[in-house]
Structure 1
């Protein structure tokens, strides 16, 4: 009996416990319903009483928009991508048709099921999210609509949390009135944070699967759509198990909303993560050039560095990939061995200033110093055409003006040091015209010419032609390449001569478009005449003859097209140059070691590298390839020929006094390396003419 009593008591206890459990469940369910109804009522009343509570209704136009950054992309002139300018936030906006439909469906399913039904605020969604989150014991659904989330991402609303939520809801309604659902969804997908510094679906797709957003599969899209709720917790790289759980939640939501079947959900659930970490910003093909482009655009008044790197710009450049490749091929063919000196090439279209090739042998990963635009190396005798242009502008006739080719010493006054200039091998031409001295690259003649013309006038000419970023000292040795310049500057100066004296600022940018394809920047320069076409034509005529019978013969192109050029070599063979041009292309080549004191000796079978050797070889190879298949173009005849004056050099007496010199060799020296000793003044003594003499010896030749 006691046993039966015990059993009866036990049964009653169980029934009582079950009733208590059922009661608790019923109470909990009732609480859910009450909370859901309450949240719906609150959500509905919020908008109804917002105006009275806030005092005014906010408008989109009155609220400051956030600066939403996006990567800018740089393109070559044929439309191929050269690389991305990295933004602090890795973001690459894409259009609606560039986003996988699975990504849109999965995002709506997990974030805002009634997105296509509500008008910006969804009371039912708030209720459903509250119930789902309480049931799961964690946040699995958000209460805000996608439109509200977008408002919080792109507009700055500086109120307390409760006020801000009301204002965001009001703004969301306005946003829905202005834009279509697809526009709002696309904007959201381009804005939201997906972890690992990926903002927007394109960056997320590249970050997690190394593919474009339009190519995402169902499992991949479900994974990405689940990240915005808690990007760190669901990071598939750091927490793959949690990421799979979250993906399953997204897939379940998609099944519940009818966008996928149960079979599709099961198949996607069984798919491994298969992550593939892509390049965050993609490979940059021409790192030096891309950086140069970014710096050039950042200097434009309407841009600046922040806009360049975070403006989502499409930057179309002038770089010709074919010519860029040919530049590298030419340098590699002439300098194929590890340990060879560095080389750099810049090529410019004279009629536009467009940089079509800008290459060097240096690798960006190991050394980010740009030899084409940042280096300041002495140009040797390639600077002489600038002095020649200054002389011609003053009416000095190169054919009729004679100088003494002989060792030259100059001391303007007793307080100044003596400047000594000589020619290598002690071989001189005696009395020689300025034109023939140019073909022989005679330093002693150009030293005298620089003093006659005036160093300040040479500086002025250099700056007008395009040497505008390097500081130039107005000393006589400037004519022998005393001042460091960049290959870009020298190419610009020669391009101005090729263009008949019309200067175009060198530019690497063809146009700039915003993310919507609107042009923000186009061609900016029509060119400015800086010297008369007659002056440029006379310089071109002499440099053209230099290619046929002077120091430039080694660079002469294979076809018989009009061309002009000049060699240059510095003291102790530390720098070697060749600069030249046709009417359609100006190019400069530089060779040297990073250590400016290291001489170019014994390089690829050349005992002492000079302008007429390896630089001329590279120039020849590049220009032959660059202009292959294009018809020859003649230099334009000048409309304003130079009016020569009756110039008399202050050194004319050297010619008269040398007639009786029995040991003077009067033959033209054979082309040989030009060795120019650029020297800065050692003293601050200034003569009455405003010239400060240099203090060391210059040993001459081509």
Structure 2
């Protein structure tokens, strides 16, 4: 009967093998690897989270003990057969036919590799085993034993911990021992070698007793096959499991920026490429600036009950995001305030109005408005717009420059009406604001329906710092794919949106705002330009400023936009207080040795006659071929400047900066 059974199995094997595809016609499964994201200095920020963790390692980084342990427990005749142990298959086949159960055991390492790379059928059947055997024989004809064992050790699953399956020896070593594969000793190697046959059953975190017994079984097999002495095996079997759950694949530096990069990768390449992994992503972020940003925030707002803060820094010449940091911890607050937080910018948005005026040819020093109570007709049955100054006092007639340094709401409201809200919106979009704007008058004072992010504000001001060239903000410089090919994403996407003369005129005024206006707390001893911003009831406070080489926005507020900052360290939080101080502390270090002046323009701004409905024009004069409306220039000594408080809510209420 045994002979008849054996002949039947042989016939069945030959029949199934005849219908199996050839190896050359199959494409190996893409196992992928864990994607890793790097900072600009090459240091690792972390691994992209997925259901599988895998890192391919070179043959030289796999310990000899681990290679031998695997052969001893999985396939002791590995170096003797040609990919298939036919005696084992026939014996298993007879048992299968006699019992009617699915085949268990009998696979060589080569067959297991074939199963991992080429066989998609999950059912454990004798027919599948035959197909594996045919492909395994072909694989052994094409590749060396070293190639086969190396690929096996990089592709076999070792178990699931924390919802992530460790594929390959490197991921397994990190997962179970928090060390690299090359650092495994004999006992470690024996434990890992015993896992692939039944990863769940032998999982040492879940079943330490079973794992220990399995490890010692592997050690015994190694001694039986002459890979180690019995004394070495006995000594290793006396060692504890030595488990240490690795966090390498789960720990991430700069988690807010990390999430931001992940979102960009998915948007660029799609979910499929992202999930398959194996990407090496090189970013623009500078760890030193990240540390300095957090230090600056903590230095000014050290207490748990203090409001939150976010900082974004952009290189004006490239659009590279150099810093994206927030206060608090990722565990407590996973919302990225720096990139996703859309808050009211207050007077920091007046820069859009100022830039609109100058690009429209309005001379800021020679064109005057009157600071006074105003009731502005919005038409179409809308109630009049009646913005006020912070303290209810008015400065009379003054230039646009002086009104900027005072952050006078009433003058800026009149400017918005003269220039047109749509023109202000156009300027904001030209500079880099991407949030949808509605082009209603109060937007120019910072009353945005959807708010704006620190990232957008830093980029908009970076356009001024670069002399009117807008760069697309970039977080990723280069992506390397699993096949070694790479894509350069760091090439700046530039567009000139303003003449350098217009940008220079705006910068000159914002420089004076730092030295003698509402931004005096941001003085760093080097040329810098910037603007403060605060919203009604002190819900949000900003300072956005730049040097020739770095544009930085600072936002301060509570995560809930409804919480007011009336008493933080005994004061109400305005843009000229904590935001400007944080900007100062950060930029003092972040600027490095850069203390250059803003470069003179190659194309000076041109000014034309301007007679707005609300502008005071005085007598017409001309100078240098340009027309200047009448008015008074802002004082150089800052005598007209207030105490650094101006308040906008976008609906007419005062704005303390």
TM-score under structure 1 length normalisation: 0.83
Residue aligned with 1:611, SS: coil
Deviation at 1:486, TM superposition (A): 0.7
Alignment CA distance shift 1:176-1:459 (3 Å): farther
Q: Paired residue for 1:365?
A: 331
After superposition, what is the alpha-carbon deviation per residue over 1:307-334, rounded to whole angstroms, capped at 9, x for unaligned?
3344122222211111111111111111
Please tell me whether residue 615 in structure 1 is matched to residue 579 in structure 2.
yes
Q: 1:148 offset after TM fit, Å?
A: 2.0
Q: 1:89 to 1:38 in 2, by over 3 A?
A: farther
CA shift for structure 1 position 420: 0.3
1:699 aligns to 2:657 (yes or no):
no
| 1:234 maps onto 2:202 in alignment | yes
Match for 1:668 among 632, 640, 643? 640
Q: Which of 551, 568, 589 is the equivalent residue of 1:625?
A: 589
Shift in Å, 1:345: 0.8
How many residues align structurally? 629
C-alpha contact (below 8 Å) 1:342/1:591 kept by paired residues: yes
Partners of 1:262 and 1:321 in 2: how far apart?
A: 51
Q: Distance in 1 between matches of 2:539 and 2:238?
A: 66
Structure 1, unaligned runs of 5 or more: 1-26, 660-665, 680-696
Q: Which residue of 2 aligns with 1:401?
A: 367
CA distance in 2, matches of 1:669, 1:563: 18
Equivalent residues of 1:429, 1:667 under 8 A apart: no
Determine helix, strand or coil for the equivalent of 2:245.
Answer: coil
Change in CA separation of 1:142 and 1:395 when aligned onto 2, cut-off 3 Å: same
Q: Give the superposed CA RMSD.
A: 3.1
Match of 1:556 among 513, 517, 523: 523
8 Å CA contact 1:589–1:619 kept in 2: the answer is: yes
Inter-CA distance 94–422: structure 2 relative to 1 (3 Å threshold)? same
Provide the residue aligned with 2:291 in structure 1: 325
Relative to structure 1, is the Cα distance of residues 189 and 440 closer, same or farther in structure 2, using a 3 angstrom cutoff?
same
Measured after TM superposition, the shift of residue 258 of structure 1 is 2.2
Which stretch has the larger CA shift, 607-616 or 254-263?
Answer: 254-263
- Equivalent of 1:490, from 453, 457, 461? 457
Partner of 1:186: 150
Change (3 A) 1:417 1:220: same
Cα distance per residue 1:426-452 (max 9 Å; x no partner): 322222111121111111111111122
Pair 271,451 (structure 1): closer, same or farther in 2 beyond 3 Å:
same
Name the larger-Rg structure: 1
Match of 1:225 in 2: 193
Q: Which residue of 2 aligns with 1:308?
A: 274
Q: 1:42 to 1:342 in 2, by over 3 A?
A: same
Give the Cα separation in 2 of the matches to 1:346 and 1:357: 5
Cα shift readout 1:157-177 (whole Å, capped 9, x = no counterpart): 459845543443343344445
Answer yes or no: is the 8 Å Cα contact 2:358–2:364 preserved in 1: yes
Match of 1:4 in 2: none
Q: What does the per-residue CA deviation read over 1:408-466, in whole Å, with 9 as the maximum and x for residues that have no partner?
A: 21113362211001112232222211112111111111111112222122222212222
2:55 aligns to what? 92
Partner of 1:410: 376
For residues 700 and 143 of structure 1, the distance between their equivalents in structure 2, rounded to whole angstroms, comes to 79
Distance across 2 between alignment mates of 1:157 and 1:246: 29
Structure 2 CA distance for aligned equivalents of residues 184 and 635 of structure 1: 62
Change (3 A) 1:205 1:400: same
Query: Within 5 Å, which residues of 2 pair with 1:403-442?
Result: 403-413=369-379, 415-442=381-408
Aligned to 2:170: 202
SS in 1 for 2:388: strand
Q: CA deviation at 1:36?
A: 13
Q: Secondary structure of 1:198's partner? A: strand
Q: Quick one: distance in 2 between partners of 1:181 and 1:363?
A: 50
Alignment match, 1:648: 611
Please state whether the residue corresponding to 2:312 is helix, strand or coil. strand
Residue aligning to 1:689? none
Question: Is 1:478 the equivalent of 2:423?
Answer: no
Aligned counterpart in structure 1 of residue 502 of structure 2, from 515, 535, 552 = 535
Q: Deviations over 1:511-552 (max 9, x none)?
A: 222346542444143422222222212211211121222212
Alpha-carbon contact 1:427-1:669 (below 8 Å) kept: no
Distance 1:427 1:159, change over 3 A: closer
The yes-or-no answer on 1:75 pairing with 2:38 is yes
* SS class of match (1:255): helix
Matching of residue 107 in structure 1 with residue 70 in structure 2? yes
Comparing 514-523 with 228-237, which one deviates more in the overlay?
514-523
Q: 152-161 or 370-379, which moves further after superposition?
A: 152-161
SS at match of 1:652: coil
Measure the CA separation in 2 of the matches of 1:640 and 1:173: 75
- For residues 272-317 of structure 1, the C-alpha deviation after alignment (integer angstroms, 9 at most, x for no partner) is 22222233723222211111111111111xx223433441222222
- The alpha carbon displacement at 1:65 in A equals 4.2
1:150 to 113, 118, 127: 113
C-alpha distance 643-176 of structure 1, shift in aligned 2 (>3 A): farther
Aligned to 1:466: 432
Pick closer, same or farther for the CA change 1:586–1:125 going to 2, 3 Å.
Answer: farther
Tell me, yes or no, if the aligned pair for 2:49 and 2:250 is still in contact at 8 Å. Answer: no
Q: 1:501 touches 1:530 (CA, 8 Å); kept in 2?
A: yes
Compared CA separation, residues 214 and 35, structure 1 to 2 (3 A)? farther
In structure 1, C-alpha distance between the alignment counterparts of 2:4 and 2:459, rounded to whole Å: 74
Q: Does 1:346 align with 2:312?
A: yes
> What is the rounded CA distance, in whole Å, between the counterparts of 1:220 and 1:214 in structure 2?
11
Whether 1:505 aligns to 2:478 is no
Output the CA distance in 2 between the equivalents of 1:202 and 1:432: 70
How far apart, in 2, do the equivalents of 1:571 and 1:159 lie?
Answer: 63
CA distance in 2, matches of 1:551, 1:329: 24
Offset, 1:38:
7.3
What SS is found at the alignment partner of 1:148?
helix
The answer to whether 1:573 aligns with 2:538 is yes
CA separation of 1:700 and 1:109: change in aligned 2, threshold 3 A? closer
Contact 1:443-1:701 within 8 A present in 2 as well? no
The alpha carbon displacement at 1:156 in A equals: 4.4
- The Cα offsets for residues 8-30 of structure 1, whole Å up to 9 and x where unpaired, read as xxxxxxxxxxxxxxxxxxx9xxx
Q: Distance in 1 between the 2:443 and 2:51 partners? A: 45
Seen in structure 2, the aligned counterparts of structure 1 residues 396 and 50 have a Cα distance that, compared at 3 Å, is same
Residue 273 (structure 1) aligned to one of 241, 250, 253? 241
Aligned-residue offset at 1:500 = 1.4
**What SS does structure 2 have at the residue aligned with 1:329?**
helix
